[in-house]
A and B are shown apart, each in its own frame.
Chain A
Amino acid sequence: MATLVRTDRARADVGQLRRLGGVALLVAILAVVGLVLASWMQFLLTVSLAESLAVLGVALLMRAGLVSFGQGLFYAAGGYAVAYGMRLLGLHEALLLLALGIVVSALVAAAVGPLICRYRQIFFAMISLAFSMVLYSVLLKFNGITGGSDGMQVPAATILGLHVADRVLPAAYYDLTIVCFGIALYAVSAYMASPLGYLARAVRDNEIRLEYLGASVQSVTYRTYVLAAALTGLGGGLTALAVGHVSPTLAYWTTSGEFIFAALLGGTSSALAPVVGTVVFESINSYASAYFPNIWEMVLGIVMLAIILLLPRGLWTLYEIAARRWSR
């Protein structure tokens, strides 16, 4: 028994090291890539990676069988927390602002979670949608405080106490984003390999059996929900900094729909899959909305139908097939 535990722990350590190495390598590659990219592509990648954190949140919930059509709630909470942190609290340090975004989103999730986590399937989807639309209409209607549909500007923040010149600010935000992204990605893949991560998958498969085995489904879904919200809040905060602006659209349900789309496109079987989905989605998005502005959503819908009907586990399936071939 004792040896068994020891080998398990050793294996877990190896897994952790590999994860850490993989994430570090990815961040290093992204950092190098950032040096050679044209500035508009660098910006696109910054926003995609920030958004991919929200998509990761959606994907974590999807693994537990919960489709959140209202992840925009936390995306906007993170973004507006950054904007208000600057305006009302006088915070100008990016890391503090991002931490504020995470905390605010997690607190919102902790507050609505007990209600929302009682629901499954389409009820979960629709109630999460309802909550995000409430925030949307509040942001829209109280324009004295929130700036209404125009939203608010987010001025440049300091990074680690340093004032960054405007010229290099996008590059600095890019580096900030990839570092935050790397930490979040590591946390997510560690979560996926943890007991909680496996329990979440079991919730999707069969809740009643899980309860009989002695796990609390409510606690698993609740913790997953708060974790997903924290990730999304970080994504929203990074987006607010990089774009320099927040608006109620962040909370709108089509924003949440885009997260779901990206998660479906990539797949949810690995931590990296939703990220790939987001980057692909944002690339198609910026090209297609420039070249076919009139039928862009239609293209999106058709691609989505094709993915759902033909590749139900996302683009990641292609990688899995390739990997299997390779190892043979």
Chain B
Amino acid sequence: MQTTSAILIDGLVYASWIFLVSVGLTLIFGVLRILNLAHGSLYAIGAYMGAWLVVRFFQPGMPLWLSIVLLLFGALLVGAVMGPLVERLLLRRTYGRDEVLQLLVTYALFLILGDLTKLIWGVNPYYAYLPYSLMGNVTIGKIPYPRYDGVLIVAAIVVGLGLWAIVNRTRFGKFMVAVIRDREISTTLGINVPLVCTAAFTIGTTLAAIGGALTAPTISVVPGIDVTVIVLSFAVVVIGGLGSLEGAALGSIIVGLARASAVHLFPDLDLVAIYLVMAVVLIFKPQGLFGRVEAKRI
């Protein structure tokens, strides 16, 4: 019983974390048709920026919400600078080329950003644990859980609902859906497709950075966190269906629960469990749970 509730809670926390990152990845793929391997690097940059700001400016005794504000500020800064920069300078040159070639361009970007992060912040770990430890624990069924994990869950819910509202309730959201459905027709209808692409990429990048920044207090921020997160978010978006927001949500929950179960029941197999789930989903639904079947060109 205790294990079950622990799996559920851990799974939810884990799902919230991976959702923040993978929803950005799937949004970018939906609009730009580019699977961004450098998404994990932007997550890492967000984590470094957030951790650095907290270590530098936050002291015990200050109100706790200030640390969260610092983290979010760092993430927004990263998204607002890196998003337009990468999209305008680099990705724009590859539109309309082979999907695989675009994948390789983002792989090159991943390599560049990895070293850039090391040059800026060094290779020593950053510990921004203060917000995490100051919030303390809450006990559910005799097991203490850190309260900070609640921040991740709330952030994931806010992001999910916010994106849903943007896509379904705003003019810009309608433009985005139009571009996702058909670029060419959107252009003929007078939608500024390049601008929608820049905006969508920036939103996706910001989400990755938020994911990184909010995670920073719970981990030691070291080189290499970019790889872990990108490999997992790929599993999420492949399970959910590339380009689908609902898919990212469901995929995150599936991956979160799979990993939490594996961690509690077979601790050595967490990554294997996630990929097993992915393989099973792909055998039955090759396009992912919410993916669209695309017509092939003859």
Considering the complex, give the chain B residue whose CB is closest to the CB of A118.
Answer: B286
Besides A115-B279, A129-B231, 16 more A-B contacts (Cβ < 8 Å) are A122-B103, A123-B238, A126-B238, A127-B238, A129-B234, A130-B235, A207-B296, A208-B298, A260-B104, A264-B104, A300-B108, A301-B109, A301-B110, A301-B111, A301-B112, A308-B104
25 residue pairs A–B, Cβ–Cβ below 8 Å: A65-B100, A67-B104, A122-B35, A125-B103, A129-B234, A133-B275, A137-B270, A138-B272, A141-B268, A260-B104, A264-B104, A294-B115, A294-B118, A300-B108, A300-B111, A301-B111, A301-B115, A302-B108, A302-B112, A305-B90, A305-B109, A308-B101, A308-B105, A309-B105, A312-B101
Report the bound CA distance from A131 to B276 in whole Å. Answer: 9
B66 to chain A, nearest CB (A): 34
Report the bound CA distance from A294 to B116 in whole Å. Answer: 9
B19 to chain A, nearest CB (A): 18
Report the bound CA distance from A137 to B126 in whole Å. Answer: 26
Could you tell me if A298 and B35 are in contact, using CB atoms closer than 8 angstroms?
no
Report the bound CA distance from A268 to B182 in whole Å. Answer: 33
Report the bound CA distance from A296 to B115 in whole Å. Answer: 8
Interface size on B, residues (CB 8 A): 41
Could you tell me if A309 and B93 are in contact, using CB atoms closer than 8 angstroms?
yes
* Chain B residues numbered 105-151 whose CB sits less than 8 Å from any CB in chain A: 105, 107-112, 114-116, 118-119
Chain B residues near A121 (CB-CB < 8 A)? 99-100
* Chain A residues numbered 270-304 whose CB sits less than 8 Å from any CB in chain B: 294-298, 300-302, 304
Could you tell me if A308 and B238 are in contact, using CB atoms closer than 8 angstroms?
no
Could you tell me if B112 and A297 are in contact, using CB atoms closer than 8 angstroms?
yes
B265 beta carbon closer than 8 Å to chain A? no
Partner of B108 from A130, A207, A208, A301 at Cβ < 8 Å:
A301
Return the CB mask of A192-235 against B: 1 if under 8 Å, else 0.
00000000000000111100000000000000000000000000
Report the bound CA distance from A264 to B100 in whole Å. Answer: 12
Could you tell me if B279 and A122 are in contact, using CB atoms closer than 8 angstroms?
no
Chain B residues near A305 (CB-CB < 8 A)? 90, 105, 108-109, 112
A127 to chain B, nearest CB (A): 7
Could you tell me if A141 and B115 are in contact, using CB atoms closer than 8 angstroms?
no
Chain B residues near A122 (CB-CB < 8 A)? 35, 99-100, 103, 242
B9 beta carbon closer than 8 Å to chain A? no
Partner of A134 from B35, B118, B272 at Cβ < 8 Å:
B272
Could you tell me if A115 and B104 are in contact, using CB atoms closer than 8 angstroms?
no
Could you tell me if B231 and A298 are in contact, using CB atoms closer than 8 angstroms?
no
Chain A residues near B272 (CB-CB < 8 A)? 134, 137-138
Report the bound CA distance from A126 to B275 in whole Å. Answer: 11
Partner of A130 from B35, B278, B297 at Cβ < 8 Å:
B278
Return the CB mask of A44-59 against B: 1 if under 8 Å, else 0.
0000000000000000
Interface residues, chain B, with chain A CB atoms under 8 Å away: 35, 90, 93-94, 99-101, 103-105, 107-112, 114-116, 118-119, 227, 231, 234-235, 238, 242, 268-272, 275, 278-279, 282-283, 286, 296-298
Report the bound CA distance from A122 to B269 in whole Å. Answer: 26
B111 to chain A, nearest CB (A): 3
Return the CB mask of A117-152 against B: 1 if under 8 Å, else 0.
011011101110111011001100110000000000
Chain A residues near B231 (CB-CB < 8 A)? 129-130, 133, 253
Chain B residues near A300 (CB-CB < 8 A)? 108, 111
Report the bound CA distance from A294 to B227 in whole Å. Answer: 18
Chain A residues near B99 (CB-CB < 8 A)? 121-122
Could you tell me if B275 and A130 are in contact, using CB atoms closer than 8 angstroms?
yes
A208 to chain B, nearest CB (A): 5
Chain A residues near B90 (CB-CB < 8 A)? 305
Could you tell me if A133 and B100 are in contact, using CB atoms closer than 8 angstroms?
no
B223 to chain A, nearest CB (A): 10
Chain B residues near A312 (CB-CB < 8 A)? 101
B71 to chain A, nearest CB (A): 27
Considering the complex, give the chain A residue whose CB is closest to the CB of B238.
Answer: A126
Considering the complex, give the chain A residue whose CB is closest to the CB of B267.
Answer: A141
A244 beta carbon closer than 8 Å to chain B? no
Chain B residues near A115 (CB-CB < 8 A)? 279, 282-283
B240 to chain A, nearest CB (A): 13
Chain A residues near B278 (CB-CB < 8 A)? 130
Chain A residues near B119 (CB-CB < 8 A)? 294-295
Could you tell me if B35 and A126 are in contact, using CB atoms closer than 8 angstroms?
yes
Top 9 nearest A-B pairs by Cβ distance? A301-B111, A298-B115, A301-B112, A304-B108, A137-B271, A141-B268, A301-B108, A297-B111, A305-B108
Could you tell me if A257 and B268 are in contact, using CB atoms closer than 8 angstroms?
no
B37 to chain A, nearest CB (A): 9
A207 to chain B, nearest CB (A): 7
A281 to chain B, nearest CB (A): 13
Chain A residues near B94 (CB-CB < 8 A)? 309
A167 to chain B, nearest CB (A): 39
* Chain A residues numbered 219-266 whose CB sits less than 8 Å from any CB in chain B: 253-254, 257, 260, 264
